[in-house]
Amino acid sequence: MNTRHNLGRALPTALILVAAFAAGLGLWLLSQPFTATGPEMKALTRYPTPRAVADFQLTRSDGKPLSRADLQGHWSLFFFGFTHCPDICPNTLGVLKQVRAQLAQAGAADAVTIHFVSVDPQRDQPEVLGRYAAFYDPGFVAATGNDEELTRLTRSLGVLYVREPARDGQYNVDHSASVALVDPQARLVGLFRPPLDAAAIGADLLTLAKPH
């Protein structure tokens, strides 16, 4: 996947994880061009049928829990990264900041919750994670958890991450750059894949979130 950092050094581990994920996710389907009934989308790659998100237990940067139950009743965007991320995370969070501004301008800011989930809980302590997310937008919900919970959620949302072995105490985390969209019934609807276009993403969200 050309949207992960330093993938070459972690390739054997990544291939093992991809093979494992494929059995539970139908990873092949994720690479196919999906079409689904409903409004025409500008940027969203939709699933033919929404898929229920697995239950999970994360901790928000403010100490409150985050679980599948918290996704009910509104649309949710999920992006996975980490605060030491050199490029993909800052760029993506910048795009999502623009998306949220577009929603706010249309009076729909409360209709969509944007989640930034760290896949580096060892370094991303709550206060660090909270400050990082708030730098982009105080309305972002930042959270993390142990690898068991993170893997359960990433696998359910069709994304993955690979933590490299530490070298001299330093390590990197390769991760998917797609943004997952979850509907008000806590079901995965599809993915926004790079390159991300804030205007197109915002337009899709406004189309989906408006009353029908």
Average pLDDT over residues 180-192: 98
CA atoms within 13 A on the CB side of 44: 26
Alpha helices in 26-174 (DSSP H): 27-30, 88-105, 126-136, 147-157
Indicate the length of the chain as a whole number. 212
> How far is Cα 82 from Cα 163, in angstroms, rounded to an integer?
11
Average pLDDT over residues 149-155: 97
Phi, psi of 195, deg, nearest 5: -75, 135
- Dump pLDDT digits (tens) for 50-104: 999 999 999 999 999 999 999 999 999 999 999 999 999 999 999 999 999 999 9
pLDDT at 33: 40
- Of residues 106 and 31, more confidence is placed in 106
Closest by Cα among 45, 48, 44, 60 to 99: 44
Closest by Cα among 53, 52, 18, 50 to 36: 50
Cα dihedral 8/11/13/15 (nearest 10): 150
pLDDT at 40: 92
pLDDT at 97: 98
> Residue 4 — very low, low, confident or very high, per pLDDT cuts 50/70/90?
very low
pLDDT at 37: 57
Average pLDDT over residues 156-172: 90
pLDDT at 203: 98
Q: Which two tokens stand for residue 73?
A: 């009743």
Is the pLDDT at 129 greater than 70? The verdict is yes
Is the pLDDT at 159 greater than 80? The verdict is yes
pTM comes to: 0.83
pLDDT at 210: 84
Are the C-beta atoms of 179 and 78 separated by less than 8 Å?
A: yes
> How far is Cα 7 from Cα 173, in angstroms, rounded to an integer?
9
Residue-range domains of the chain with CATH: 7-209 (3.40.30.10)
Is the pLDDT at 185 greater than 60? The verdict is yes
Q: Cα dist. 175→87, 163, 210 in Å?
A: 12, 9, 32
Mean pLDDT of the chain: 86
Average pLDDT over residues 112-139: 97
> How far is Cα 130 from Cα 182, in angstroms, rounded to an integer?
22
Helix (H) or strand (E) holding 198: helix 198-209
Is the pLDDT at 1 greater than 90? The verdict is no
Strand partners, 115: 78, 141
